[in-house]
A and B are shown apart, each in its own frame.
Chain A
Amino acid sequence: MSVSKEMPLSIQDLPNSYIGRSVPRPNARRLLEGRGTYVDDIQLPRLVHVAFLRSPYAHAAIASIDVSAAQRSPGVVRVITGAEMTKHCTPWVGVLTHLKGLKSAPQYALAVDRARWQGEPVVAVVAQTRAQAEDAVALVEVAFEELIPVVDMETALDPATPVIHPDLGDNLAFERRVEAGDVNAAFATAKVVVEETFHFGRHTGVTLEPRITLADYNAGDGKLTVYMSSQAPHMTKHVLAEHLGLDEDAVRVVCSDVGGSFGIKIHTYPDEMSAAALSIMLKRPVKFVADRLESFVSDIHARDHRVKARLAVNREDRITAIEIDDLTGIGPYSVYPRTSGVEANQVVNLTGGVYDFANYRARCRVVFQNKNVMCQYRAVGHPIAFSVTEGLVDAAAGKLGMDPAEFRRRNLIADDAYPYTAASGLRFEKLSHQQSLAKTLAMMDYHGLRREQTALRESGIYRGIGLAAMIEVTNPSAAFYGVGGAHIAAQDGCTIRMDPSGGITCATGIAETGQGSETIVAQIAASAVGVPLEKVRVITGDTDTTPYGGGTWASRATGIAGEATLQAGRALRANILEVAGALLQSAPAGLDIRNGAVVDADTGAERMTLADLGKIVYFRGNELPDGVRPELVATRHYAPRAYPFAFTNGIQACWLEVDIETGFVKLLKYWVVEDCGTVINPRLVDEQIRGGVVQGIGAALYEHCVYDDQGQMLNASMADYLVPMAAEMPDIEIGHIVTPTAESVLGAKGAGEAGTAGAPAAVANAINDAIGVLGAKVTAIPATPRRILEALGKIDKGQ
């Protein structure tokens, strides 16, 4: 059929290539006019709304449920309890075989017999309006018998602590150990050892658009369509089919505009599964919106960790060993299907990963608690790993009396040391830590800031510089999830076609959640085929119309779907040129496509427009020479194979001032140098970094899901759970190094999570750099004014 053409130049060199250009996003226009389509904007005939009675207790037996008053409430269509729901939706278990020993109990769409976290859905009420559903929820009577909740991860494994799932034997979900080199010897012979215990506050995503599901079961054809604010349509399709008893082909998932996700909207939630089951039961559309108060107690939480760590430095001022003991307290279930073991697993994988050392010991334990569930959230595990690493590194530099930047320079993996295998087993193709560090220090005028810091200290003004070196997991292969049995695609595909107008349509399995992935695909397609960007249309998010793919997560969209798009675009180009060659009686090798027209490759002279070619192919096939069988459509799939992940690397730097009388932190400026390989759209990459940094600043200074000793979340509202707002955030300057991956033609890696991965480390280090001269140190985040005042000794330590 078609011959794959070898390009004389790289894609970046092609005339009119869009690679590397900061083009504005075509789909931004409708969002600027308020004409997006978010799931709550969709109205369907006979739509009804579901609201949930959620457990007010962290741990309670459900003794009885009386729904009679609720059923009589105005507008109510149906009330359903957990026992009945089991007939319509099977439970799921969040384990994967490659996380050895990970165990979890079956989780149901509505709690049966027991509620195991404050916020777990217990009863579903369907009514004509959301308000009526809530009125009826208030009339449901549930007799709860409180049980002792497990709320302290430190004691979750103690014999005296109740076991949440007796069938599992204990509250240990997962444990993993890594041992490399000779850790004991390294510590025994060290010149300097630093040791610290780090605490990370549990926090959550707070997407501005909450989770919304609109399930529409058509009994006439037995097909379930679910409109969802989600990141992974194909995975969701499988989960729905599997647990609702439908053929996978009878399920369609449609993701249109998504108001932020960051990993929150990639997990299986009992309330969403209930909504879908109800649609099938009622044979009409059912909408569920997780309102803001519900979101805090039902959206996945993340990053509730305590890490004990130490680091050894030898006589040559080289890091020789790192040891960590990571304890994390999740909820009562490992979340499905990606599991709640991955975050701790990543902490073990990534800690120390930027430095050149051979001796590493790590243990992580994941324990069940009666709190909200926890799972993957932007930069899974990375912030923990790098806060620990970079906190130890600054402490070591301090003990050595060495400048922290210089200590890093001496210990970061050399730029010519690749391929490199880290002590934890991670394999790096090629990174640029040293170049990135040098560039960061230059951009920020590091030495100038140090002089300023010293001078201001004389006047009692305490400013600090915090550095954080990091790597980011991107472009994951099947080794991440698929190998463990999950129906989560590590490949992605792109189907690209040319229509009679000469316009190009690409359909791909990733999802657009605001980061601009549709724009990236359009840029690549336009460049690969040779058409202006305006002639490219991108379809994502609909499992009926896109090739089976993985969705958006782990910063994979550009690297994986982008590569598939490039390959498909090239294939289409070759097909077009084959037809053009036949029509123009020229060798295809002497032709090119530029700006939407077939041209002479040498002279650039236009021979025919794609629109003219399209009209002939589609409407005037009689004009085609014999034997020419035009196929103006191509599909290619791509999956990374050689490396389990395409790592990126970066350096982040924070400059801030601590008001030592109040503990308040003022962020003055922030810098990031990021190496994510080939950059398709510099502005979009930079904006991902900025958004990610601010999200990480949230974790560093503001965000914390606070629980009391009864497992009640105390700050489950926007008034008390603090997210970063504009007035307190700094400007963020960004620079790039470009080290393409050789695994793909595009050479692009991911960039979506880097900002979040390193920001907590940079901010914490900056605070400690500011107050360290006063003998103060903060090792728990969020580094609230209270914690800083406690560290400074201005107030007593609380709980």
Chain B
Amino acid sequence: MKPAPFDYAKPNSVEGVFDLLDRYRDEARLLAGGQSLIPSLNMRLSAPAILIDITGLDALRGIVVGDGVLRIGALTTYSQLKASAEVARAAPMLSQAISWIAHPAIRNRGTIGGSLAHADPAAEMPACMLALDARLEIAAKGSRRRIAAADFFRGLFETDLKPGEILTAIEVPVIRADYRSGFSEFARRSGDFAMSGLAAHARFDGEVLNDVRLAYCGVDTRPVRARVAERALEGRPFGNAVLAEAKAALARDLDPPDDLQASGQMKLHLSQVLVGRVLTAMAKADGA
């Protein structure tokens, strides 16, 4: 399947990107890693007039920790995240989640910014952003804004990005003392899309769970925080009874759609199994 013809530009400045977006509007698509965009072009699911390659923008790279914040440039690839000692220390959930994403050749090109902007409902990174209360930095011509991850993912492949905007960086609070993260998913084969995936984050005060975040992927049109289940766990000592309540509460948080691999009911069931397994693993772990 060959894509429909498109033109190509690779600006070397962010301003250059804005100029092109201004000129071409919705006839343009931004090209970062291309691991989601190019398959869709090959299948002629979309036919933009021009691809704007943003991989020349070094300003969108870099992993920096400072002032309690882990700042990740949008063009950081999954492989770079996986190899980063700073990420492993400051946001171990991301390191855990990366190994579930596709395969090495895809991870070498795919970017975290691309994943978030594409907002595939089964993608791991958006769920992690939700669980970690990340903030996303967005730039437009002459302006800049920050938005909470919770407000960024709006629907199926739909984000808060407006025309003319690009995602420039992700800011994740550095993991604090006594907090632990977990990530796991159920997929048919290694690297496949998640049938249900859970990014979990909580503070363990002894046995007691506090500040619990449970963010699921693959069970809705966008990543979703299971707030009723979180409340069932909040301030309670972790154990079988509490877990059972949390699982039951998930039925109120999640109403997953059917897809080819799983019915909605099955996705809910898998989500319930996941919360047990992920939290159990977190409870057994020594520290973050």
Contacts and interface: CB of A to CB of B under 8 A. Distances in A.
B260 A720 contact: yes
A134 interface: yes
B189 A725 contact: yes
A795 B2 contact: no
Contact of B188 (A129, A292, A702, A794): A702
Given A293-B43, A725-B189, A727-B190, A795 B266 contact: yes
B269 A789 contact: yes
B270 to A, nearest CB: 6
Contacts of B258: 798
B273 A796 contact: no
Interface in B182-207: 186, 188-193, 195
A19 B33 CA distance: 52
A232 B179 CA distance: 64
Given A138-B4, A293-B1, A722-B189, A662 B263 contact: no
Contact of A662 (B5, B191, B273): B273
A719 interface: yes
Nearest to A659: B273
Nearest to A725: B189
A786 B2 contact: no
A138 B195 CA distance: 34
Contacts of B84: none
A135 B5 contact: yes
Nearest to A718: B39
Nearest to B277: A661
B4 A135 contact: yes
Contact of B263 (A291, A715, A798): A798
Contacts of A789: 266, 269
Contacts of A714: 260
Interface in A667-718: 702, 706, 714-715, 717
A111 B273 CA distance: 50
Contacts of A130: 2
A138 B190 contact: no
Interface string B1-40: 1111100000000000000000000000000000000000
Secondary structure dominating the interface of B: loop
A798 B267 CA distance: 13
A138 B44 contact: yes
Secondary structure dominating the interface of A: loop
B108 interface: no
B176 to A, nearest CB: 32
Contact of B193 (A134, A719, A727): A719
A786 B261 contact: yes
A605 interface: no
A761 B105 CA distance: 35
A664 B258 CA distance: 18
Contact of A722 (B2, B186, B188): B188
A706 B260 contact: yes
Nearest to B276: A661
B2 A728 contact: no
B2 A796 contact: no
Nearest to B47: A138
14 contacts: A129-B2, A131-B5, A134-B1, A134-B2, A135-B4, A664-B186, A702-B189, A715-B260, A719-B193, A725-B189, A728-B190, A785-B266, A786-B261, A796-B263
Given A662-B186, A662-B270, A725-B190, 4 more contacts: A134-B1, A134-B44, A722-B192, A795-B266
